[in-house]
């Protein structure tokens, strides 16, 4: 599965503590294995973010995403691979 992130994500990610970054990387590995693993609490969003999905990093942080199925790959706009940050 390819995961791409926006420049906005990269900017916000860089500001996170080392502890939260470590948790995000761990959850990203789980997400790659199974995006709907119960540990992630993956769920669709509503209202302003209808069309987006999210999964939990911890009680205070979550990652928002858009599923875009193109040959079973996950894409977002302004792409950069998650592993590159």
Helices and strands per DSSP (H, E), number in the chain = 2, 3
Instruction: Give the pLDDT confidence score for residue 61 in this predicted structure.
Output: 93
State how far the Cα of 68 lies from the Cα of 27, in Å rounded to an integer: 20
The pTM (predicted TM-score) of the whole model is: 0.73
Domains of the chain: 7-79 (3.30.2310.20)
H or E element: which one contains 76?
none
pLDDT-based confidence at 20, cuts 50/70/90? very high
pLDDT digits (tens, 9 = 90+) for 26-78: 999 999 999 999 999 999 999 999 999 999 999 999 999 987 765 545 554 55
């Amino acid at each position: 599965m390819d995961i791409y992130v926006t420049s906005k994500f990269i900017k916000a990610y860089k500001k996170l503590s080392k502890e939260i970054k470590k948790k995000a990387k761990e959850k990203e590995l789980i997400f790659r294995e199974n995006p709907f693993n119960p540990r992630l609490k993956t769920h669709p969003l509503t209202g302003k973010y209808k069309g987006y999905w999210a999964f939990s990093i911890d009680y205070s942080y979550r990652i928002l995403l858009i599923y875009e199925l193109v040959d079973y790959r996950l894409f977002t706009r302004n792409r950069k691979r998650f592993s590159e940050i």
